[in-house]
Amino acid sequence: MTMRFLPAGPRSLLVELDDLDATLAMFDALRADPVEGVVEIIPAARTLLIRTAIGVPADGRLAAEIAARQSMATRPRMVREIETIEIPMVYDGADLADVAAHMGMSVTEVIDAHQSATWSVAFCGFAPGFAYMTCDDPRFDLPRRSSPRTRIPAGSVALAARFCGIYPQDTPGGWQLIGTTRVPMWDLSRDPPALLRPGIRARFVEGRATVRPAAAIPRSQGDPALTVLQTAFPILFQDEGRPGQGGQGVSVSGALDTAAMRRANRAVGNRADAPVLEITLGPVRLRADAPVTLALTGAGRARVAGQQMPTTFALDAGDELFIAPPQAGMRSYLAIRGGYAVGAVLGSAATDTLAHVGPAALTDGATLHLANHPALAVAEPVEEPALPRSGDVVELPVTLGPRADWFSPQMIAHLLAQEWLVTAQSSRVGIRLQGEPITREDTRELPSEGTETGAIQIPHSGQPVLFLADHPLTGGYPVIATLSPRALDLAGQIPPGARIRFTADAPFQEIKVQP
């Protein structure tokens, strides 16, 4: 078994292995004998993304600890009690005939082979509840569609590149569709919500499932505190996110400017990680339904009755708060003393806009309730940092890798020398950049692998995408560099029309095992 250790930021590294079997064997070994300081492992087709705790560098010593488990990974895979789930489905997929032709079989033979196989969940990614399943039948090694579909309905059963997957929600995709199932892959009323998780086996049978309605997720209630009178963009609840859910295909999410969120909470005496409102641009008008104490940080400035408010301010019932579109930055954070009454999903009140996990977004007419949590001493307000404006050039430090070697030295220099325009097609998922495109030296198809917040992915267009908090857990385009964690808050505040210049302190190097 050969392994490469590739940098994915100061606290993450990508372990590249020979194939899926070697990857899953190494994943088993690391779960059986955990490495101290490793907080999460994201398995994929040929890689393991290793994330470490704060203060634990992803360096050669960590690589040595991982490599020391290699002997365990070369043994027969651990035998343990494995749950097998039967999934009724209908073989009505639009690509079933094409799949049969590619496999040199009749449609009936494809269906028989699909049902005869035992499919094992190798890893989860792409979307919450999306499981990559494999079997021992080599005939199911199929290409993706040459032209991806813009929408694949939830419940579609699809094949591609040795994998079978079931789409948990409507989403674009390029896999070959062979049928549909009514069994929900993702249900927040289940514990855990993902039906298929690494290690579980699935068998497909022809038929329609009887589906029970999902139980309603209880909503936290409290005293009415604020009403949204007007908002140009949906307002989101955010906190520090939900780490450790990668096994279900769920990213961390959370506030894009974590420091601003914490400042807002401290300014009203809340826990630093209490849920706040993340407001994108503006304008926003809110009405106080009771006496409240608020703090606004980040890009916005608060006005009441035409008067600008300090960071922390009080409102009486009936007062209206106005937040104008900011002159600099993108996002503001509004905290309320005592905290908002909002239900947690998978341990967090963060709203993940890509995965559709978390509380619903707030629009005109929404009412916010007060949780009345015990408050702490109020911290002294601090001056808000200067934020970028449209037209500014913002420098962002990066670590080259994990896939910088898929690009020529000239393209690496091009990435770092160019000023990349931030386009309006940017969101909490990522910032789409525009400039002279980057071309790949290695043109192979990259198997899906884990990605970090701050990853700079290069799609076929050559125009970089800088992943933010709601990015997909796994991706199939090479990541040329990864943003330094200390620059993530700033990245979340860069408006369209600004330009980004990436800086790297060191050339790309594989991580060498250190004794």
**Which residue ranges form the domains of the chain, and what is each CATH number?**
4-73 (3.30.1360.40), 91-206 (2.40.100.10), 223-370 (no CATH), 393-504 (2.40.100.10)
Q: What is the pLDDT of residue 75?
A: 60
pLDDT digits (tens, 9 = 90+) for 115-140: 999 999 999 988 899 999 999 999 99
pLDDT of residue 234: 98
Lowest mean pLDDT: which of 300-309, 315-324, 439-448, 450-459? 439-448
Other C-beta atoms within 10 Å of 422: how many?
A: 24
Rg over CA atoms, the chain: 24
Rounded distance between C-alpha atoms, residue 226 and residue 370, angstroms: 9
Instruction: Residue 433: name the closest of 400, 485, 404, 394 by CA.
Output: 394
What pLDDT is recorded for position 79?
47
- Looking at residue 10, its pLDDT comes to 95
Q: In whole angstroms, what is the distance from residue 417 CA to residue 407 CA?
A: 15
pLDDT at 146: 78
pLDDT for the residue 105: 97
189-234: pLDDT as tens digits:
888 999 999 889 999 999 876 655 554 455 557 789 999 999 999 9
Tell me which residue has tokens 């009771």: 290
Question: Which of 423 and 190 is assigned the larger pLDDT?
Answer: 423
pLDDT band at 481 (very low <50, low <70, confident <90, very high): very high
> Cβ neighbours of residue 121 under 8 Å, at least 6 residues apart?
131, 132, 133, 196, 197, 198, 199, 200, 201, 202
**Among 2-16, 211-225, 337-351, whose mean pLDDT is lowest?**
211-225
- pLDDT, tens digit, 9 for 90 and up, residues 77-104: 554 457 899 999 999 999 999 999 999 9
| Per-residue model confidence as pLDDT tens digits over 20-51 | 889 989 999 999 999 999 999 999 989 999 99
447 cis-preceded (ω within 30 degrees of 0): no
**Pairwise pLDDT comparison (253 vs 21), residue with the higher score:** 253
Are 286 and 228 contacting, i.e. CB atoms less than 8 angstroms apart?
Answer: yes
Query: What is the overall mean pLDDT for the chain?
Result: 93
Model pTM score? 0.91
Q: In angstroms, rounded to a whole number, what is the distance separating the alpha carbons of residues 463 and 223? A: 48
How much is the pLDDT for 159? 97
Kindly state the percentage of the chain with pLDDT values over 70: 96
Average pLDDT value for residue range 268-296: 98
Q: Dihedrals φ, ψ of 411, to 5°?
A: -70, -35
- Number of alpha carbons in the 13 Å side-chain half-sphere of residue 512: 4
Give kind and range of the element (H or E) at residue 179. Answer: strand 176-180
The Cα–Cα gap between 207 and 182 comes to 10
Tell me how far apart the alpha carbons of residues 174 and 150 are, in angstroms, rounded to a whole number. 9
Strands 12-16, 47-52: pairing is: antiparallel
Write out the H or E segment, with its range, that includes residue 360.
Answer: none
Half-sphere exposure of 192 (CA within 13 A, CB side): 17
Torsion from C-alpha of 376, 381, 385, 387, nearest 10 degrees:
80
Q: Is the dihedral of CA 119, 116, 136, 101 positive or negative?
A: negative
Share of the chain above pLDDT 90, in %: 81
Contacts of 67 (CB under 8 A, 6+ apart): 3, 513
**Mean predicted confidence (pLDDT) in 144-171:** 92
- The string of pLDDT tens digits covering residues 365-420 is 999 999 999 988 888 878 999 999 999 999 999 999 999 999 999 999 999 999 99
| Mean pLDDT for the stretch of residues 271-300 | 98
